[in-house]
Structure formats: C-alpha cells, structure tokens
Amino acid sequence: MAAWKSWIVAEKARRCIRTIFFVAAMMASLLASSLPVLITVADVLVPCLIVSSITCLTCHSITEHLRLYSFKNSLIDVPIISFLRSLVILCLYWVCEDTRLAYGFYLEAVMLSSFGGILLLLVKACFFNVNSHLEAKVYYLKISWEMPVLLLSSAVFGLAHVVVAYRKSCGARRKLMYHKIDQEAVLSCKSGFSGYKKAHRQSLTRSNSKILTYAGEFRQYSFRGASFDREELLQPRFLANADSLFIKIHGLTVHYKQCTSPSIVSGSAVDMNAIRLRLLDKQMSNLISQTQSSHLHRSYTIQPDRSSLYDPLLVSYQTTPISLFNKDDMNKMDSMNPVDDLEINENVGIVLVHGFGGGVFSWRHVMGDLSLQLGCRVVAYDRSGWGLTSRLVRKDWEERNLANPYNLESQVDLLLSFCSEMGFSSVVLIGHDDGGLLALKAAERIQASTFKCNITIKGVVLINVSLSREVVPAFARILLHTSLRKKHLVRPLLRTEITQLVNRRAWCDTTKLTTDVIMLYKAPLCLEAWDEALNEISKLSYEMILSPQNASGLLKSMGDLPVLVVAGAEDALVPLKSSQLLASKLTNSRLVEISGCGHLPHEECPATLVSALGSFISRLIPKLPNS
C-alpha cells in the first residue's frame, strides 16, 4: 500500500513538472511568435526613456521643441526616428501576405528602414554638439554612458528588426513550400498516411471529378486545396477504404463497418460475389489509364467478412489503385445479385460501441471472428466526434435546429436509430469504457418503452466500464479551453496528449503497443473540426459521470436483462474491484476476468475476449441452421 501511494505521489510530481515545462514552453513560443511586436514596442520605449533622462521633454511644448530643433544640437529626433521606423515595420508585417513575407518585399523594406535609421543616427553622432539651451550637465552626460547607450540601443533595435524579419521571411518561405508538397505526409500522423499517394489538386476539377463507389453507394468527391487556417486537415472520407460504409442519421454522416459470417451466405451468393469481383477487376483495368494523371491511390478491399477488419492507415499494407466506375456499371452488378440469393438473418445483430478515443478500428481483431463464431452480423460504428463520423460544430447544429450531437441523450438516440437503420429487431450491445454507459442507457430506454422502434435488446456486454470515471483529464481540458487551441502550437500537443491518454497506462503488455497501433488512434485526430468536436465532448464529459443514486437507478432498471461484465485483471484505469462492484449490482450478470490484460481487451487479448463473448451471446440469439 505504501509503495502504491509513493508511486501515485511520484506520478503526480512527474505530471506537475511536465505541466510546468509545457506552460514555460508555451510562453516561450508565444514570445518568439510575437517578436516583431515586442521589438517594435521596445524600439519606441527605450529611446524615449533615455532621452527623457537627458533632457526635459515636458519643459517645453511641442511647438517650442520644433522651434528650437537643430539636427546638430537636439535629441528629440532620436525617439521620433525609432517611432517612425517601428510604425512602418509593424504596418508592413500586418499588411504583407505570406508570399510577400517569403519572397523579399517585407525583408527588403525592413532592411531599408532599419539601415536608413542607423545611418541617420551615425551621421547625427558625428555632428552632435551642445548648445546653450541644454543644461550644464548635458556635456557630461554626452561623454558618459547615457548618450552612447541612446545611439547604440537605437542601432541594436534596427539590427534586431532585420534579424526578426529574416526569420519571419524564412518561416513564410517554408510555409509556402509546405503548401506545395504533400501536406498530409508531414502531419504528426504522417506515417499513417504514407500508403496514400498525393492527388494533384489542380488536375482534379469539378468538371472531371469521378464518382467513387464504396459498397454499392455512389458519392461525388470534389478535391480542393484546404486553407492554412484549417492546418490542412483532412476530410473524413479521405481515410475511408472499400469496406467503409456511411449512413445519414440525425444530420450526421455516420461511418460504420459490418462483418457477415460466410456460413450464413448461400453458395449462389458466394458465386455472385466472385462474379462481382471479376467485374470490379475488369473495370479497374479499363480505367487505370484514366486515373494515371491524378495518381489517386487508396487501399482497396472487397472481402472484409473472412477476417478481422483491414485498416488502410497502416503503412505495412499494400495499396492498389482505386476503382472508378459509373452508376450504370453498378446497376449491372446489382442486377446480377438479387436479394433473394442471400440467406442472412438480417434481424439479429451485434453492435459494438467504442469508448473514448476509439473508433471502428478498435474492433478490428474482434469483428470477423465474432461474426464467424456466432453466425450473425456484427456492426461497429464511430460515435459522434470520433473516427470518420462527421464532426458538427456548434454553428452547424444551431443553424439546422438540431440537438447537440455530443450530449449523452443524443448519443443514445444515435445508437438506437443506428440499430433501427441496420434493420435489426434483436441486438446485443457491446460497449467499451464510456460506450458501455451508452449501451446501458439505450437498454434502459428500450426497457421503459420510451423509444418508438421495434428493437429488442437481448443482452448487454460491458467491457472495462466505470460509471464514475472522468474520461477527459484536466490537462486536456486546459488545452481545449485555451484561446490558443487553434494555433499550430497547441493542436499537435493536444493531439499527442489525447493519443497518450487513450494508450497511457491502458496496456498491460506494452510490447503490443506498436507505432502502427498508436497511429491508428492518432489518425482520426487529423480530420477537419476534430478539436472543435473534442472541445464539445469535454464540455459535456460531466454527463458520463453518474452520481451514486443515478448509477444505482440505471443498474436497477436493467431488471433481468442478461449482462456480461468483462474486466482486465491489470486494468489501471478501471480497477477490477470497480468491475466486481458493478456486476454485483446487476440482477442477472456474469463477470469475466481476463488475466494479464489491461484496459483494452479487444486490443491485447482479442481471442480470449471473443471466446467469452461467444459463450455469452450464443445463449441469447437463435442459432442459424448453417452456423
């Protein structure tokens, strides 16, 4: 116990030190990015302070100073020169665009004004004399430290303007070069996208864009260059592969994948699948020559059912040219494959609900084997704000009079509507982490008959679920709520923090946490509006923390509904005791403890998890004849 407490103290100290270091680095970066303004302010203030200590600026009016002004005798022109020089440089900095910052105009103008001011001060230093209007001590000050410091400081600030302008010019030049190359390849998640080849944006216009077909659905893509204020973030469907499916629910474009066991597909349907494949290959070979000018490549899979989900984001997988075909070709293929040829139990299904930071990819080791073992459809979808599901910003849903898609009730509505759209009449919900709360809330709503649909929930599986755990840490909330969160500095830090949050301390065997796995979790954080969506999720994260009274009421509402509680014995985020307590409060529950497993059984121990799930679910759903 003492060792555990000491470890907690050490962990808090380490986090505190890292937070202090981050704040210091952020402040240093802010100062570095604000150097043009800081140099300008210092260039105006320092000469004014030195001149005011040498001569009395308030002893005479402005008119009197101008009347008594002499280039050889007066010092009042030194701060004026600094002010005019700083004003010109600051205006140039704010007015110039990236192109002018990068290619000479800004740097040349700054050098001209700075060196012109320095030359003028050198001439003044050579001809300066004391006149009768100055007090007797001025001559002494001239040969002491104040007069040389005045001239030297003005010269130093002039050189500082040139150095800062040169740095800004180099930065703007790098930015323009970054725009000309493959931006996605140099994102923080670049290794996840290296399997994709860049599409020349100028070669794909609205007039010659093709219709891309995924899973028999036609979607028109228009490729346009993203603006820099969006940090060249990607469209969700850019990362979709051939077995990715999309459906419109409650104003959201929901991304999902499904696996169907081959044992429940008739032989004629399998033959027709082979015909479809041959036709697809023929279409691809005929159209490769048409796509060479755009060099558009993407992973291409058409048989996701026989294995766990293929993920296109891993570099190690080979990629082949994407097929481009028209609607008539697809109608021809569909006419060759009538619905009657499929003998699939469309009414029974298993729906997988991922947790914080996860997505459809989280279940890639589970879906295929589970579908094969149980002989029914297994479907996983991306929740609002995660994966490839569209991320609405506040302006979007307010203008369309939609509910906030990130609050708890809307997510439960989305889950139940998704089940209904899939055509399920009986489902088993499997939820991981806070996805388990959505499964429980959906079951509660069905039990109370407050959702108008013909869906029966046969059972619920809770994988490492806690009803009282804060999923968004304080540090991530600080990053999300800061006004700098849209800057290039904070976004990569937030992306790294969220990725580490999902995986830090979540794995028992860290050797399984490879770079490829990390990139899977990091890749969706490179999509458009990911930070806005995460900010909304953070604001509503309190809804995922139930009070003891609400948690008790939710568990009691399950009644005799079969519930399987799966716990990793080495889970550091949701302790085993918490899962045991959760199972004890459910009337009809079973607890499965997976030894040597952390917070992500579907990642670390997929075979063990599938075995436990199959044993539980096989008692709840009807067995198909050929399964």
pLDDT digits (tens, 9 = 90+) for 213-226: 333 333 333 333 33
Q: Judge whether residue 47 has pLDDT over 60.
A: yes
Lowest mean pLDDT among 11-20, 123-132, 242-251, 253-262: 123-132
- Residue type for 9, please? V
410 falls in which pLDDT band (50, 70, 90)?
very high
CA 293 from centre of chain? 31
**Cα angle, residue 256 at apex, residues 195 and 465 outer, rounded to 5°:** 105
- What local confidence, expressed as pLDDT, does residue 99 receive? 55
Q: Are strands 456-463 and 426-432 parallel, antiparallel or unpaired?
A: parallel
Q: Is 20 buried (19+), middle (13-18) or exposed (0-12) by CB count in 10 A?
A: exposed
Q: Judge whether residue 156 has pLDDT over 80.
A: yes
Lowest mean pLDDT among 7-16, 194-203, 443-452: 194-203
Lowest mean pLDDT among 154-163, 215-224, 258-267: 215-224
Residue corresponding to tokens 């864009």: 209
- What local confidence, expressed as pLDDT, does residue 490 receive? 63
- What local confidence, expressed as pLDDT, does residue 608 receive? 94
Alpha helices in 483-575 (DSSP H): 490-503, 515-522, 530-539, 548-556
Better-predicted residue by pLDDT, 522 or 231: 522
Q: Judge whether residue 558 has pLDDT over 80.
A: yes
Number of neighbours of residue 37 by Cβ within 10 angstroms: 14
Enumerate residues 6+ apart whose C-beta is below 8 A from 503.
513, 517, 518, 521
pLDDT digits (tens, 9 = 90+) for 561-611: 999 999 999 998 899 999 999 999 999 999 999 999 999 999 999 999 999
55 falls in which pLDDT band (50, 70, 90)?
low
- What local confidence, expressed as pLDDT, does residue 177 receive? 61
Lowest mean pLDDT among 221-230, 243-252, 462-471: 221-230
- What local confidence, expressed as pLDDT, does residue 73 receive? 67
Q: Judge whether residue 45 has pLDDT over 80.
A: yes
- What local confidence, expressed as pLDDT, does residue 426 receive? 92
Its pTM surpasses 0.75: no
- What local confidence, expressed as pLDDT, does residue 592 receive? 95
Phi-psi region of 251 (alpha: psi -120 to 50; beta: other; left: phi over 0): left
DSSP string for 343-409: ---TTEEEEEE--TT--GGGGTTTHHHHHHHHTSEEEEEPPTTSTTS----HHHHHHTT---TTSHH
Q: Judge whether residue 464 has pLDDT over 90.
A: yes
- What local confidence, expressed as pLDDT, does residue 450 receive? 64
The Cα 296–Cα 511 span in angstroms is 35
pLDDT digits (tens, 9 = 90+) for 142-152: 545 666 777 78
480 falls in which pLDDT band (50, 70, 90)?
low
Q: Judge whether residue 368 has pLDDT over 50.
A: yes
447 falls in which pLDDT band (50, 70, 90)?
confident
Q: Judge whether residue 85 has pLDDT over 80.
A: yes
The Cα 89–Cα 95 span in angstroms is 10
473 falls in which pLDDT band (50, 70, 90)?
low
Better-predicted residue by pLDDT, 627 or 11: 11
Closest CA to 88 of 40, 46, 159, 122: 40
365 falls in which pLDDT band (50, 70, 90)?
very high
Better-predicted residue by pLDDT, 461 or 74: 461
- What local confidence, expressed as pLDDT, does residue 448 receive? 84
> Once rounded to an integer, what is the mean pLDDT over residues 544-553?
89
